Structure 1
Amino acid sequence: MEDGTLTEVTAGDCSDLYYVDTGMYDTNGYGAAYILDADRPAVVETGIGTNHERILEALDELDIAREDLAVIAVTHIHLDHAGGAGFLAEACPNADVCIPAVGSSLLADPGRLVAGTKSAVGEQWQYYVEPEPIPEERIVELEDGDVIDLEDHELRVHAAPGHAFHQVVFEDPANDAVFTGDAAGIWVPDRERIVETSPPSDFDLEQCLEDLETLKTIDPDVLLYTHFGPRYVGDDLDEALEEYATVLSEWVETVEETREDLADDEAVLEHFATSTEMADTWGDHKASAEARLNVRGALGYLDDSE
């Protein structure tokens, strides 16, 4: 996947499904926004707002008129997933904006969300743009068990609050696929590796592991990651999810052990920021900043678990 490229999802039995690389963090593949060319077309995930026009251009390429877009759906309100929603809502005046209910007010009035994001991502804010508020009358609040009706497709809503209390995943039964948000980690296809995502301030390891059990119960053939795109798992679903459970558990354990050794949280942050193995994937600056973010989330979880 390359910056700005629209790609058809051909994994498994998927049809009517495409994704576009939004060029998030200047890293090819990192930010996938999906377009479901259903009878009632939908965009799932919207990127950080920067380069949101690439999603609109992808709609044009698929001959989906902007006034015909029916749904803009986000798995959670972190701005790398929901930052473009307000821009798309403004450009697509008839689309419902479907947001997990517990986070919807923060996209209607994003001031606190922006402040929290700036605090969490630090220097990475340079890649973002201030989100557009979403009119309350355009928002459809989602709860566990809800269904978004796209006529020839539907998106079934499943709560998955381990990564963030406001996260859900969307099951697309017609495609035997799930839009995972961050519930299944970050799959890096070039390295065939799954890596942790544990941002502050709501990361909860035990709940993340429960969310993986939810995905096992849904039992999709295809995992539609927001970061780096689709992955066919088929009969290897349980193995793939268990791999992430191990990665995430060992990650938190490593942070805890490093904290005990160094006895200073700033030293812990610096240790992981300078020893990350992901620089080849998304560059030194992004890799270092991402490591700091994930360490802070793990440290917060450890504090809350005491």
Structure 2
Amino acid sequence: MEINRHNSNLLWFDLQPNGEQEFITIYILLDDKITLIETGPACSHSNLVEGINKAGIALSEIDFIVPTHIHLDHFGGGGHIMQVCENAKAIVHPKAVGHVSNIDKWWSGSLDFLGEVAKLYDKPLPIPESRIISAENGFEAKLGKTTLKALHTPGHAPHHITWINNNSAFVGDSLGLWYKEIDKAFPVTPGYYRHDLALQSIIAMSELNLKEIYYTHFGPRSSSGVFEQILNEFQTWMKIIQKGVYESLSSKEILDILFSKQEGLKLTDIKHGIHQRNTHLGSVEGMMGWIKRENEKK
């Protein structure tokens, strides 16, 4: 496992759950207080501990464990790492507090939505509420010389937070999945996706004069061109999917149209490993679900 030093205050590494490379980035933010951004799923707990150790950080030195949201690939291992980081507190969205302290609904919902992939990720462990900090929009964690500020960015999930640190942002899934080899990001829109909120979140982030973007999927990059590209991608996908819904096409038929029209998309689908299988199909179905719910309001 290679530890990458992005700058004097930020380390990152490829978590490689079940050996899958370039899927989940773990970030370690260095200041007077040390912060772990994302944990990955429960199945990669040993990899997470190995990465922290290789970074030269003792588990007891970690002060904050901060997911962007609580989907299993981002925080399924939160309870496991909290058990061994005895001095750490977890900082999560207010809507996530009840789920991570009492995992029954969280786990059953994950099984319903992800099926076998949820079983691959493995079951989370609960975190005592006494060790959880609830982060309202605008919440700031004082780390020392810098702060970590919460910007609520719903759309992908109602409990999604983009974490701002100086002129950089840990964006989770709010800006989609970034593929370095083609320098493009594509939407990731699960079953309870809200298109209106997703666009609002992208626009809100675009107004912050950010210089760097730290994707969970996958890796750090300059913010140059990011917001224009992904906003256009979300809007283009929605237009194609709306037309497909109007024509009563299946999600697979709509995905095939996207493959033919969106350069590089098919390549990324082929590249996806066991955890990401059917990711793009699931995103199509998430957008279809939003369209149908909106149509039912009319």
Q: Please, what TM-score do these two structures have when normalized by structure 2?
A: 0.90
1:151 matched to 2:144? The reply is yes
Hey, what does 2:294 align to over in structure 1? Answer: 305
Q: Residue 292 in 1 paired to residue 278 in 2?
A: no
The correspondence of residues 76-95 of structure 1 with structure 2, limited to 5 A, is 76-95=69-88
- Residue aligned with 1:52, SS: helix
Name the stretch that deviates more: 18-27 or 137-146: 18-27
5 Å matches for 1:152-301?
A: 152-173=145-166, 176-201=167-192, 203-233=193-223, 236=224, 239-261=225-247, 263=248, 267-269=250-252, 272=255, 277=266, 278-283=268-273, 288-301=277-290
Which amino acid in structure 2 is aligned with residue 189 of structure 1? Answer: K
Deviations 1:58-116 (A, max 9, x none): 22223222112100001111111111111110010110110111111111111111221
Cα 1:27–1:256, aligned 2, differ >3 Å: closer, same or farther? farther
Once the two structures are TM-superposed, the CA of residue 257 in structure 1 deviates from its matched residue by: 1.8
Gap runs ≥5 in structure 2: 260-264
Q: Distance in 1 between matches of 2:19 and 2:253?
A: 23
The structural deviation recorded for 1:214 is 1.5
Deviates more, 1:45-54 or 1:177-186: 45-54
**SS of 1:191 mapped into structure 2:** coil
Equivalent residue for 2:35, pick from 42, 52, 73: 42
Residues 111 and 119 of structure 2 are in contact (CA less than 8 Å); yes or no, is this contact kept in structure 1? no
Partner of 1:113: 106
Q: Distance in 2 between matches of 1:167 and 1:183?
A: 8
- Does structure 2 retain, via aligned residues, the 8 Å contact 1:198–1:293? yes
* C-alpha distance in structure 1 between counterparts of 2:111 and 2:157, whole Å: 17
1:223-251 deviations in Å (ceiling 9; x for gaps): 00010110112xx2xx3202111111111
Deviation readout 1:244-298 (Å, 9 max, x if unpaired): 111111112222222233x26xx32466389661233214x65652123212211
**CA separation of 1:136/1:287 partners in 2, compared to 1, >3 Å: closer, same or farther?**
closer
The amino acid that maps onto 1:296 is E
Structure 1 unaligned blocks of 5 or more: none
Question: Distance between the aligned counterparts of 1:171 and 1:109, measured in 2?
Answer: 28
Q: What is the percent sequence identity of the aligned residues?
A: 24
Question: What's the secondary structure of 1:51's corresponding residue?
Answer: helix
Number of aligned residue pairs: give it: 288
User: Quick check: 1:8 aligned with 2:5?
Assistant: yes
Alpha-carbon contact 1:180-1:225 (below 8 Å) kept:
yes
Q: Secondary structure at the match of 1:70?
A: strand
